[in-house]
Amino acid sequence: MSVNLRVAVVGSGPSGIFTAQLLGESDRVDAQVDVFDRLPVPYGLVRYGVAPDHPKIKSIVGAFAEVLADPRVRFFGNVTVGNDISLAELRNYYDVVVFASGASQDRRLGIPGEHLSGVSSATEFVAWYSGHPDAGVERFSISGHTAVVVGGGNVALDVARLLNRTPDELRRTDMPEHVIEAIASSGIRDVRVLARRGPVHAKFTNKELIELGSLTDCAIVVDPVDLELNAEDQEGAANPLVSRRMAILKEYADRGSRGGERTLRLEFNTRPTELQGDNGHVRSVRLARGQGDDISTTDVATQFVVRSIGYRGCELVGLPFDEHRGVIPHREGRVIVDEEHLAGTYVTGWIKRGPSGVIGTNRLDANETVTAIVEDALTLPHARSEKSGVDPLELLRAREVAVVDWNGWLSIDQAEVELGRDLERARVKIHDRSEMLNAAISR
C-alpha cells in the first residue's frame, strides 16, 4: 500500500520539476504535488539562464511540461514563498515542503570600482538578455569598442558569444526585441574573456569552446604563451578532456587574429585588480597578467564589464542557511537545524549543493532528496489527517495574489508564439510581468 503525501515544491526550475516527476513515479507514495514559483512562468534557469542561442538544450522544457501538466500536479506561478505565503503556512498544509529555489545572487570581485555603472554581474546581464521580468528594459546600454568578461566558465563564454552574434542570428532566438537592438547597435568589436588561472584549470566545456570558432566574422585570439605549461600543469593536461581543450586552444592560437571584423580574446592567467571611471561610469580596467612573481599590469579601455564568477543562493525566512557556501544545510536532502532534521522540509538543486553541474545533475540530486522523502514517509509517523492548514490556493486568493496556474502559463506561452509571428520570428519572450499576467488571464 502506498502512503498519501501532500507536497509543496518551492521553485519550478529543473530540480523542482525533477522532484515532482520522481515523486509521481514512485509506487511507494501517492503524492499530490504543488509547484510554486515566484515568477509567472515555469522552468527557472532553463528559461532565464541557458543561452537563447542553445535551443536544443532548452528543448528539455517539453519533458518538463509533461510533468507540470499531470493532473496530480498543480502549478502556482507568481507566488513568492516567504512573501505571499509563509513557510509556516505551507508546513501547516503540506506533509512535505521541498526547497528548489536555486541560486539567483551573484558573487563580487571585491576590487575597487566595482560599483561603477557599466560594470555588472553575469546574473544581471543574463537575466536581461533572457527577458527576465525583474530586469528593466533600459538596464543595459552597451557602449564602447571593448567588452571585458571576467570569468573562465561556460557562462562567461555564453556572454562573450552572444555579444558577438549577428542581428540575424539573434533574431532566431526568443530574445526580446529591445535586447537584440541593444546588442546589434553596440559598437563592441573586441570581447576579452579573462580567466584567473591557466587553460588547464579553465571551467568551460570543450563543446562551448569549439562553438566559438563558428562565430561569423569573429577571430578567436589565444596567446601561445598561455599554452606553455609548467610541470604541474603538464600533469593536469594528461586528462583527455584537458588535452582536447589544449588542442582546440592551440588551433585558435595558430590561426591568430586572421579572418574577423571582430575579436574574441581568451586571456588566461589574467585578472582585474581595479576598475577606473569617469563621472561614475567605467573607463578602464587594470589587468594583472602572469603567475607567481612574474606579473605585469596593463590598463585596458572599456565601458562595459561583466563579471561572471559564480552564482550564489540566498537565505529564505524560517530556514537555516550556510552563509559561507550560500546553500541550505542538509543531510541527503533533509534540511538540518542544530544537527536535527527540520521535520517535513527538504532541499534540492542549486540551493542544496551550490551552483554546479548541468541540468541532468539536478535529476540525480532530486533523486537523493526524493529517496529521503519516501523513506521518511514510510518510516516516520506521518499525520496528514492532523494537518489543519487551509489550501494555499484559498489563502492566496483571499490575499488577492494573481496566481498563474498551468493554463495561465499555456496562455503566456501562446502569446509569446503570437508575438513572434507578428515580428516574423518563431517566438519572442514577453519580459514585462504585467503583460505576462494579462496574457495569463485573457484567454
Q: Is 15 a known ligand-binding residue?
A: yes
Q: Distance between CA 277 and CA 360 in Å, rounded?
A: 42
Q: In what order do the strands lie in the sheet with 262-267?
A: 119-121, 304-307, 146-150, 190-194, 262-267, 218-222
What distances in angstroms separate CA 420 from CA 46, 48, 132, 426, one per listed residue? Answer: 19, 18, 17, 5
Sole window of 74-82, 176-184, 222-230, 269-277 interacting with ligand FAD (rule: CB under 6 A): 74-82
Least distance to ligand FAD, CB of residue 359, Å: 4
Is 312 annotated in a binding site? The answer is no
| Stretch 95-124 residues interacting with ligand FAD (CB under 6 A) | 100-102
Cell numbers that stand for 214 in this block: 563558428
For ligand FAD, the binding residue among 5, 6, 7, 15 (CB under 6 A) is 15
39 lies in the site for ligand FAD, by CB under 6 A:
yes
CB of 176 or CB of 349, closer to ligand FAD: 349
Q: Is position 111 annotated in a ligand binding site?
A: no
The answer to whether 80 contacts ligand FAD (rule: CB under 6 A) is: yes
If binding is defined by CB under 6 A, does position 358 make contact with ligand FAD? yes
Task: Compute the least distance from the CB of residue 183 to ligand FAD, in Å.
Answer: 16
User: Is residue 197 marked as binding?
Assistant: yes
Distance CA 84, CA 353 (A): 26
Q: Which of 7, 9, 10, 347 is close enough to bind ligand FAD by CB under 6 A?
A: 10
Could you say which residues in the range 300-319 bind ligand FAD, by CB under 6 A? 311
> The C-alpha cell of 422 is what?
507578428
CB of 429 to ligand FAD, least distance (A): 15
19 binds ligand FAD (CB under 6 A): no
Distance of CA 244 to the CA centre of its chain: 27
DSSP string, 104-115: -EE-----TTTT
* Total number of residues shown for the chain: 443
- Closer to ligand FAD by Cβ: residue 16 or 144: 16
Query: Kindly report the CA angle at 42 between 38 and 46, in degrees rounded to 5?
Result: 110
Q: What single letter denotes the amino acid at residue 232?
A: E
Regarding beta strands 334-337 and 330-331, do their DSSP bridges make them parallel or antiparallel, or are they unpaired? antiparallel
Q: Is 208 annotated as a binding residue?
A: yes
- Residue 287 interacts with ligand FAD (CB under 6 A)? no
50-58, 185-193, 319-327, 404-412 -> range binding ligand FAD (CB under 6 A): 50-58
According to the binding rule CB under 6 A, does residue 61 interact with ligand FAD? no
Separation CA 412–CA 437 (nearest Å): 8
Residue with the CB atom nearest ligand FAD in the bound state: 13
Q: What is the largest CA-CA distance in the chain?
A: 72
125 touches ligand FAD (CB under 6 A)? no
What's the order of all strands across the beta sheet hosting 334-337? 73-76, 29-36, 3-10, 96-99, 340-347, 334-337, 330-331
Distance CA(420)–CA(427), nearest Å, equals: 4
Per rule CB under 6 A, is residue 82 in the interface with ligand FAD? yes
- Per CB under 6 A, the list member of 35, 36, 408, 430 interacting with ligand FAD is 36
Q: How far is the CB of 234 from ligand FAD (least distance, A)?
A: 30
Residue 374 among known ligand-binding residues = no
Beta carbon of residue 21, minimum distance to ligand FAD (angstroms, whole number): 12
Rounded-to-integer distance, Cα 320 and Cα 322, Å: 7
14 is a site residue for ligand FAD (CB under 6 A): yes
12 binds ligand FAD (CB under 6 A): yes
Instruction: State which H helix or E strand residue 273 sits in.
Output: strand 270-278
Q: Which residues are annotated as a binding site for NADP(+)?
A: 196-197, 208, 357
For binding to ligand FAD (CB under 6 A), which residues are involved?
Answer: 10-16, 36-39, 44-46, 49-50, 54, 57, 80-82, 100-102, 126, 155, 158, 311, 349-350, 357-359, 362
